[in-house]
């Protein structure tokens, strides 16, 4: 009973922190907007200045919602991968999904000059980078699923995923070598990641991807708990290992692939958040961990985005750099403390 009460308190704290950071994120930026105006604009009553209302509804609110979706989705997918492969260093992109997305974008941007004007004309489309990234992730997903149907060992799937990543990275390197400085700079800017400049239709598609992936993840909680005890024990309990592996990989692919398509590759959130959450909740029960990781990931991404937009400054730092600067020390700190990272 005391444990359940402790979990309830932590969930209340996390949810309250998420709401507070959401309001703070919308309020702060190059133009500081009072919280009362933020609340008024979000409630539909409008802000005291029309320019503030435009900033809130057309720029900061979509960016904050993207941060919540991306942070929560990456954290959940990281937890799924760490449990499936029983590896504390596994993250949402170990299957090569990020590399596949990078290859799709690289073919669009860097390959435009090499393959003619057709790819160049596609760059004029608002959805071009999203479609290219999604197609790259989807093709890698199909390859991983095909391998999963033939290979039973989860560690072999992990290694094959890393090899897919190496191959796609090599192709990107070749394209980079032959591209112009302008195209290379455009590709590098995409690789920094970005939570801004999202349309409401884009946010809706991203939200649908995240909801679908999270639903599959919650439906797999019982199987995830069984996997903690080892595959042999899970089989003795009647768990269908191949079916469970396919579902977990599918959920991770939907989450990580969709987020990468809309926000670019974002590092360390999926790796660091599950470890931090275990320190707070001290449990391996995924019925508790999954919602906790979901809230914690959204909170961490909001913090990173607030830092990245440099309040009271017109400069904005790359979100990927901020997540790495915050996530890497967290993992190092956990390792130095020699706390149990997983299981």
pLDDT attached to residue 21: 95
In a domain, 330, yes or no: yes
In a domain, 65, yes or no: yes
Return all residues near 175 (Cβ < 8 A) that are at least 6 apart: 106, 107, 110, 111, 114
The model's pLDDT over 246-303, given as tens digits with 9 standing for 90+, comes to: 899 889 988 988 898 889 889 889 888 998 898 888 888 999 999 999 999 999 999 9
In a domain, 192, yes or no: yes
In a domain, 56, yes or no: yes
The model's pLDDT over 225-239, given as tens digits with 9 standing for 90+, comes to: 888 887 777 777 778
Token digits of residue 147: 């391998």
Give the whole-angstrom CA distance, residue 64 versus residue 71. Answer: 10
Per the listing, tokens 């941007």 go with 109
Higher pLDDT among residues 120 and 182, named by residue: 182
Per the listing, tokens 């308190």 go with 9
pLDDT band at 172 (very low <50, low <70, confident <90, very high): confident
Give the whole-angstrom CA distance, residue 72 versus residue 13. Answer: 16
The model's pLDDT over 33-43, given as tens digits with 9 standing for 90+, comes to: 888 888 888 88
Report the number of distinct structural domains present in the chain: 1
In a domain, 342, yes or no: no
Give the alpha-carbon dihedral of 139, 143, 145, 149, to 10 degrees: 160
End-to-end CA distance of the chain: 23
pLDDT band at 342 (very low <50, low <70, confident <90, very high): very low
The model's pLDDT over 115-146, given as tens digits with 9 standing for 90+, comes to: 555 555 555 455 777 888 888 888 887 887 78
pLDDT attached to residue 231: 73
What CATH code is carried by the domain that includes residue 128?
1.10.3470.10
Average pLDDT over all residues of the chain? 84
pTM of the model: 0.88
In a domain, 341, yes or no: no
In a domain, 21, yes or no: yes
pLDDT attached to residue 1: 47
pLDDT attached to residue 43: 85
pLDDT attached to residue 287: 94
pLDDT attached to residue 123: 53
Judged against a pLDDT cut of 90, whether residue 19 lies above it is answered with yes
Instruction: Write out the E strands in 140-194.
Output: none
Judged against a pLDDT cut of 70, whether residue 188 lies above it is answered with yes
Give the whole-angstrom CA distance, residue 82 versus residue 86. Answer: 5
Higher pLDDT among residues 185 and 119, named by residue: 185
Judged against a pLDDT cut of 80, whether residue 114 lies above it is answered with no
Q: Where in the sequence is the domain holding 187, given as residue range(s)? A: 2-336
In a domain, 41, yes or no: yes
The model's pLDDT over 58-112, given as tens digits with 9 standing for 90+, comes to: 899 999 999 999 999 999 999 998 898 887 877 888 778 888 888 888 888 887 6
């Amino acid at each position: 009973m005391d444990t359940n009460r402790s979990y309830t308190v932590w969930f209340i704290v996390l949810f309250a922190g998420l709401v507070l950071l959401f309001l703070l994120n919308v309020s702060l930026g190059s133009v500081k907007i009072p919280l009362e105006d933020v609340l008024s604009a979000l409630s539909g009553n409008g802000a005291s200045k029309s320019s503030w209302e435009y900033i809130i509804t057309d720029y900061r609110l979509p960016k904050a919602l993207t941060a919540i979706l991306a942070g929560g989705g990456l954290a959940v997918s990281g937890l799924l991968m760490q449990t499936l492969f029983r590896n504390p260093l596994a993250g949402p992109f170990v299957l090569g999904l990020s590399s596949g997305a990078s290859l799709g974008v690289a073919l669009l941007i860097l390959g435009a000059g090499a393959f003619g004007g057709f790819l160049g004309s596609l760059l004029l489309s608002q959805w071009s980078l999203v479609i290219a990234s999604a197609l790259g992730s989807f093709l890698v997903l199909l390859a991983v699923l095909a391998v999963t149907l033939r290979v039973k060992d989860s560690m072999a799937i992990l290694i094959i995923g890393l090899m897919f990543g190496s191959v796609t990275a090599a192709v990107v390197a070749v394209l980079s070598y032959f591209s112009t400085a302008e195209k290379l700079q455009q590709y590098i800017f995409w690789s920094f990641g970005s939570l801004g400049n999202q349309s409401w239709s884009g946010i809706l598609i991203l939200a649908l991807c995240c909801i679908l992936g999270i639903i599959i993840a919650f439906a797999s909680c019982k199987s995830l708990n069984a996997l903690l005890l080892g595959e042999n024990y899970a089989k003795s309990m009647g768990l269908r290992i191949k079916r469970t592996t396919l579902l977990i990989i599918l959920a991770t692919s939907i989450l990580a692939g969709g987020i990468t398509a809309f926000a670019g590759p974002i590092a360390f959130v999926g790796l660091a958040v599950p470890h931090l959450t275990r320190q707070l909740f001290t449990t391996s029960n995924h019925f508790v961990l999954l919602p906790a990781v979901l809230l914690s990931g959204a909170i961490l991404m909001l913090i990173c985005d607030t830092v990245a937009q440099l309040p009271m400054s017109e400069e904005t730092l790359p979100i990927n750099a901020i997540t790495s600067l915050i996530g890497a020390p967290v993992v190092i700190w956990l390792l130095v403390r020699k706390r149990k990272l997983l299981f």
